[in-house]
Amino acid sequence: MTDDTLIFTDLSAATMAEGDVAYGLIEDAAIAVQDGAISWVGPQAHLPATYHALPRTSLNGRLVTPGLVDCHTHIVHGGNRATEFEMRLKGASYEEVARAGGGIVSTVSATRSASQADMVASALPRLDALLAEGVSVVEIKSGYGLDIETELRMLRAARALATERNVRVVTSFLGAHAVPAEYAGQAEAYIDTVCIPALRAAHAEGLVDAVDGFCEGIAFTPSQIARVFDVAQTLDLPVKLHTEQLSNLGGAKLAASYGALSADHIEYLDDAGVAAMAKAGTVAVVLPGAFYTLRETQVPPLDALRTHQVPIALATDCNPGSSPLTSLLLSMNMACTLFRMTPEEALAGVTRNAARALGLRDCGTIAPDTRADLAVWDVNHPAELSYRIGFNPLFSRIVKGVPCPR
């Protein structure tokens, strides 16, 4: 044992281990942490003798889960789109707003005019809201610059956030998010002269962990996305895709053909897409915040995903337009209420499966040799995390074994 070995006792552990039922719940549990990683977890009565002489920290019967993982966010951006919220309330659809010059493109001007320091400062309150609910890993996308320099600046800001807070940041390059105004009607030219060069430059600077895109009628076709993914493959970068949100262009099937980490939104996903995802091991990421904000009615095909044993993850999709949501706990409640996910599926969706959607194998469960990223809750049962609305029962957030301020 080393001097920094920590023993947490008197807790109820929802381990979220693969294949476990009922959350993998261990009552009267203990967790040993050494060098920032979990070295042992199990019933407290079975704590190995080698740990008996070490100091213990009692958690007084509280529930402990893996630290939460928000696997799909756009928290780095400039400005907001409150006026579009009003437009939609007056009857305009998401597509109508986008085609009128709003939507993603309307955020571009504010983001292009923001410095890296501006981006970090505006993102920190959104990040802090997520951390206050037990989040230890956040994925952050580019995609509101749509020119080379601003895309790079967004990714630099995302990396900088990890130095401002005790959080693990995973970045996704989303240059294929929308066609900017200066390339209206010239999507192919935009891919050639902006998106792919920006991807190469971002990769050269070490700013990219994965490559994303938006495959939709208001964005890019499958063939255009494929060109970006081909470049990602040459750079040895994994891919993921916003797809089947408003229609079915076969994006999920395309993503799966590239071995994508995830296909996200997927309200209009068909059986062929589900089967392709199952074969490729691609995670389905559902985003009830956007579904709610856009007042959609087509729910993701949860039963088909379950039948084909496609892992289902869950995220906030925090963004200025279609999901201005900074609560992963509320996302869990929405997924249960709107999509009829179970509380256990929701918790797996923001821990084990969310980590998998980011290609991370060292977090999302409470198991030996995983990072000691934990969330400690003042609740009696894991279902309470999905049950309550607008209530945060977090007691403590632990990152690599170190308790963090809320």
What is the token pair recorded at 216?
């939709």
Backbone φ and ψ of 144, nearest 5°: -110, 10
Q: Is 317 annotated as a binding residue?
A: yes
Distance CA 30, CA 159 (A): 34
User: Is 20 one of the annotated binding-site residues?
Assistant: no
81 marked as binding residue: yes
91 annotated ligand binder: no
Task: Confirm if 276 and 252 have CB atoms less than 8 A apart.
Answer: yes
Residue 177 assigned to a binding site = yes
144 is an annotated ligand-binding site residue: yes
Tell me the C-alpha to C-alpha distance, in Å, between residue 96 and each of 86, 87, 115, 370, 405: 13, 10, 30, 46, 43
Residue 93: how many other CB atoms lie within 10 Å: 14
Query: Does 203 appear as a known binding residue?
Result: no
Cα(284)–Cα(277) distance, rounded to whole angstroms?
Answer: 8
380 is in an annotated binding site: no
- Is 265 assigned a ligand-binding role in the annotation? no
Number of residues written out for the chain: 406
Binding residues for N-formimidoyl-L-glutamate: 144, 319, 321
Binding residues for Fe(3+): 72, 74, 242, 317
Binding residues: 72, 74, 81, 144, 177, 242, 245, 317, 319, 321-322
Binding residues for Zn(2+): 72, 74, 242, 317
Binding residues for 4-imidazolone-5-propanoate: 81, 144, 177, 245, 322
